[in-house]
A and B are shown apart, each in its own frame.
Chain A
Amino acid sequence: MREVIRSNDVEIKTFSTHQIIIRGSGNSEFNNILNKKLKLLPPSDNLRIVSDDNHILAKMSFDQWNLIFLNDNKDFKVQKICQDFNEKASILATNFSDAQVFFQIIGINTFYMLNKLTHFDFREKNFKAMTAAQTLVAKIDCNIYRLENHILISCNRSFADYFEDRLIDAVNF
């Protein structure tokens, strides 16, 4: 993790990590693989997150789950999980490990700072802990994961420099 900025009661760090985007109907076939491979039960509610020490699994829509690996993993291990999913014709698992960058944001001014860049409603009653959302932040598509004590935002890697600059700007101005 690299520190981006720590100022005005906001601390932002950036990192990249392994990630798999899984598409499918979420039937028992899918649950079985997940359970067998990662010992995780996928969330049934839309936009909910389940996590353990190593993974964040978020249901982004009725046919999409984002599986994020928190600790260092070997490329081949992630690739293997992808392949296991892809053995089923009706599931598409895409290795997304190189496609996105993550920003971890902590601090009491997190939402104030982010609301300079997005209209998204971060109020607890509308965006509870352990839920996720896909929205526009600084005019680009982002995934936002609200964990217990901090939030994670991921965006496509080609925007990484631009997005980092926007975050720094939002903290400073």
Chain B
Amino acid sequence: MKDLNNHNSPFINFNQRINFKFDGVKYYGYKGDTIASALLRHGTKIIGRSFKYHRPRGIYTCGIEEPNALVQIVSEYSEPNARATIKKIYEAMEVESQNRWPSLDFDVGSINNIFSPLFSAGFYYKTFMGPHKSFWKKIYEPLIRKAAGLGKPPKEFKAISSHLHHNVDIVIVGGGLNGLLAASSFIDTNYDVLLIESDNQLGGILNNSSKINEIDGKKPQDWVKDTIENIEKSKNIKILKNTLLTTYNYINHLIAVEDKYVGAKPAEDKVNSTLHKIRSDHVILSNGHIERFLSFQNNDLPGIMLGASFEKYVCRYGVIPSKEPVIFSNNSNSNSLLQSLLQLDIKPKAYVDSRSGEQIESELFDLIRKNDIPLYTNAQIKAAYGNKKLEKIVIEDSSGGTNEIATDFLCVSGGINPDVHLFTQSKGLLDWDEKDLTYKPSKPFQKTINLGSASGQFNFEEVENEINKKLKIFKLKKIKVEINLNSPSKYKIQKLWEVSPHKPSMWSKSFIDLQNDVTTKDIRQAISEGFDRIEHLKRFTTNSMGTDQGKISSINALGIVSDLLDKKVNEVGTTIYRPPYAPLSFAAIAGRNSYEFYDPERKSPIHQWHIKNGAVFEDVGQWKRPWYFPNSKSESMHDAVQRESKNVRENAGILDGSTLGKIEIKGKDALQFMNLIYTNSFTKMKPGYSRYALMLGEDGMVKDDGIICKISDEHFISTTTTGGAANVLACMEEYAQTEWPNLNVYMNSITEQFATFNISGPKTRDIMREVFSEIDFSNETFPFMTFQFHEYQKTQIRIMRASFTGEMGYEIYVPANSASKIWERIQEVGKGFGLIPYGTETMHLLRAEKGYIIVGQDTDGSITPIDLGLNWMIGKTKTDFIGKRSLTRSDTVRPDRKQLVGIIPSNKEDQIQEGQHILLQEAFQTPVPMLGHITSSYHSPTMGHTFGLAVIKDGHRLIGTKAFASTSEQKTIPIDIVKPIFYDEKNERLVS
């Protein structure tokens, strides 16, 4: 085999061989190689099969724009769709080709190519319609799912990624010639600068081509080295290499992904990639340009490559993909390719230029003549042929005459486009340049500066001027740079989008989007079918979709469409470029906010005690709450809850209620404020008393409930539900600040300051008397719904006589640091009285027996206090409170609202199921009339059967009647609708 190495490339270490596998076959490359450059070293042409027609495809480009050479990295959790053109190889790397079965060489799916009429534009929408509706779900969809998609999703996903935020003044995107010059001008200034480069080498065009001979009198590589050295010395500039900017959001918020393992196997226990989230004052886009291709028959054959990419392989990667390629171009950018080849004594087989002899630069003309290279001017490549890879091309001249040339390689250039993706993500406006035939940035929307070819400025002689002009706002020292060129300084191009759409054979296709297998014929068809708006055309044909987003071809499509519609390209417009610039992995997006850090966890001050005592935990918002305490490994949840509930009713139980929200409210106008926030009136309430209260939204619906303690007219303490704590505080603050700023009132959350123990049951008073021996717990001095402050073991505690279980009980508020000590003391004393700890499930059961609602379970934001039968809680004499006026709106006073009732099964052995429908007839039929549903249901150990709470239309009137409840088996069971209270209706136990 011929030696395809260019040993002059300084970026490849030819002394360090690296072995890897491609489709199970051993290959080697050198340190610095990408998968693509290593395979090209071996003359490998086919690297994948295409998406739709399964045509063989090769390496088309040398960078992020690659449409074809996507591979699966087996050795990295089988990461799919890695671009072979940027992914660097490492020892023992395993790579597989995609979209082929059973093998790359012989692919069954390629039969699609023969049936290609079936797969033309819009085929999804047309082909899979008949003969019956069920065909889609049963036949077409599974088939399409199997065949569609690029690559296979990885089976496991463990890559570690982290996030890093930056706040800077300037971000420079792209470390090429302009990026380096811009960065240099910020050296030792007061600006914080971040220079982001996607490659592992800074230098861009200076590394990738031989366009520049000397810069400031130095060879390009030396200049790059010196420049980087100077930049690195400057403390205000940070360089991020191997970092791809994917997203440009509003207010210069950028997202970039850094690959931490370039040319090395990612370590399993280290960060593989970092997602940088950057906020900057200004963004300088110097991210260069992308070469575009040209459409002709079979322009997808392996062996066809973009001209600038070919040159990049030669210069940057030290590999010569072919020693006698044909060059086909319509512009001056390909001149340097010829230069690079001639420097290595490689003579192209032919140079085909669509421009006339007069238009071609004289330097190029002379060079071609001097080296005796066959030159075809005014000529185009009409078609390429070959069995699985390029074998010959057909050249057509202006008179229609054709020439066939046998060749295994073709370099194509259709011109260059500024890489405007990021600029348009930033909402900048583009404008079509008729001379350079491309969209260029015109009006920035944010503080964005475009430099160099990214701004559409393709002339190296203008570089110094442009930078000095555009960076003037920063008041920097002006730069001076002298660039000595190898190739012509001015960029010239002749219009050419597609050569002869004529189709010589069934197999022949002229592609406009290589990744999605969209042909120019599809574009024509879409337009003839009326999809002539560019966004419609994109969706109908899938042109410029996929992982490459048509980076080398979307402008060509616009050109073709503008010709077909006889409109200016500016009138056709472009489709909008959305983030990300290139795909990024979910691991990078998730960062460390996954697994154990997915959501913050909150723990009560006595969490450790719960763990020690075998609690099973339940997530309540972010809180970990004991759900139940099984007494042995074999005890089921049902048994534990029945036992706990029974014990509370017979002896006593204690619940860790520390998660309940607690808010301290104080101010001269606190009383007035509380009267406005809650439905109840607190005016006549005596200090030292507490009251169950409801909070509504302005729509009159119940938002939260809790107990309010009145210390004085100026000082209150509210409790809230666990889940509502943040919202209630936020609501109070909102009204205090926005609606009633005239009221003098302040509020602080004291949820975290105090642990709360809810102790209840007939033996509670005995336990309390023994633990807090100095306090008088008699009904006379400590009646129901009062509270007292006490000193206990040198801390201040608050005890409130209240209960959520229906048994007599207390809520004990203790400073969190003393919580464990006091909790353990109560357990110790309580043991002798049969006290047990219980969890949230038992709490739910006991409160439901008593008919106490849980906001959010028995209410759902459409329930008023009247619907709950809690009319007594509404302060009748108050002129205003949040939601008051809504309680008399026509909708809230209509009789058939859903109202809270209790239900019990008529046959006691039937199980009432939470969430099921209430029906008025026995038959179960769909659709179920939406009369209401069961909001809570439990099995009561006291009653010996299940019971429930439900909201039913006109429920209050239906109390005392019979109805039916649906079951998960789609049957019904008869139920009795009763008052929503099942236990101690007279509250005798509560106040005993």
Residues on A facing B (Cβ under 8 Å): 16, 21, 23-24, 63, 75-76, 79, 86, 89-92, 94-100, 112, 115-116, 118-123, 126, 138-140, 156-163, 165-166, 169-170, 173
Contact = CB atoms under 8 A, between A and B. Distances in A.
A99 B663 CA distance: 13
A158 B271 contact: no
A119 B752 contact: no
Contacts of B815: 75, 95, 97-98
13 contacts: A21-B748, A75-B794, A92-B666, A92-B667, A92-B748, A94-B753, A97-B753, A98-B752, A116-B165, A123-B192, A138-B597, A158-B623, A158-B752
B817 interface: yes
B279 A121 contact: yes
Contacts of A139: 593, 599-600
Given A21-B748, A23-B747, A158-B623, 17 more contacts: A63-B746, A76-B794, A89-B668, A90-B668, A91-B746, A92-B747, A96-B753, A98-B816, A98-B817, A120-B165, A122-B167, A139-B599, A139-B600, A160-B603, A162-B601, A165-B596, A173-B270
A139 to B, nearest CB: 6
A90 B815 CA distance: 24
B164 A115 contact: yes
B753 to A, nearest CB: 4
Contacts of B795: 75
Nearest to A25: B744
Contact of A116 (B162, B666, B744, B751): B162
A98 B754 contact: yes
B748 A157 contact: no
B958 to A, nearest CB: 43
A16 B815 CA distance: 13
Interface in B713-759: 714-715, 744, 746-748, 750-754
A38 B984 CA distance: 54
Contacts of B714: 89
* Chain B interface mostly: mixed
Interface in B355-380: none
B746 A157 contact: no
Interface of B: 160, 162-167, 192, 270-271, 277, 279, 592-593, 596-597, 599-605, 623, 664-668, 714-715, 744, 746-748, 750-754, 794-796, 815-818
A98 B746 CA distance: 20
B723 to A, nearest CB: 14
Contacts of B744: 89-90
Given A24-B746, A161-B603, A173-B271, A86 B666 contact: yes
Contacts of A76: 794
Contacts of B162: 116, 170, 173
A2 B601 CA distance: 21
A99 to B, nearest CB: 4
B634 to A, nearest CB: 30
A94 B750 contact: yes
A90 B612 CA distance: 45
A157 B596 CA distance: 18
A141 to B, nearest CB: 10
Contacts of A95: 753, 815
A66 to B, nearest CB: 11
B164 A23 contact: no
Contacts of A163: 600
Given A98-B815, A115-B164, A79 B796 contact: yes
A116 B164 contact: yes
Contact of B165 (A86, A97, A119): A119
Contact of A99 (B165, B192, B753): B753
Contacts of A116: 162-165, 592
Given A96-B753, A98-B815, A157 B605 contact: yes
Nearest to A85: B666
A166 B751 CA distance: 23
A119 B596 CA distance: 21
A107 to B, nearest CB: 17
B165 A165 contact: no
B752 A115 contact: no
Contacts of A165: 596-597
B814 to A, nearest CB: 9
A154 to B, nearest CB: 11
B192 A94 contact: no
A49 B620 CA distance: 37
A100 B750 CA distance: 11
A10 B279 CA distance: 24
B602 A166 contact: no
B603 A166 contact: no
A76 B747 CA distance: 23
Contact of B592 (A97, A162, A173): A173
Nearest to B278: A119
Contacts of A91: 666, 746
A151 B600 CA distance: 22
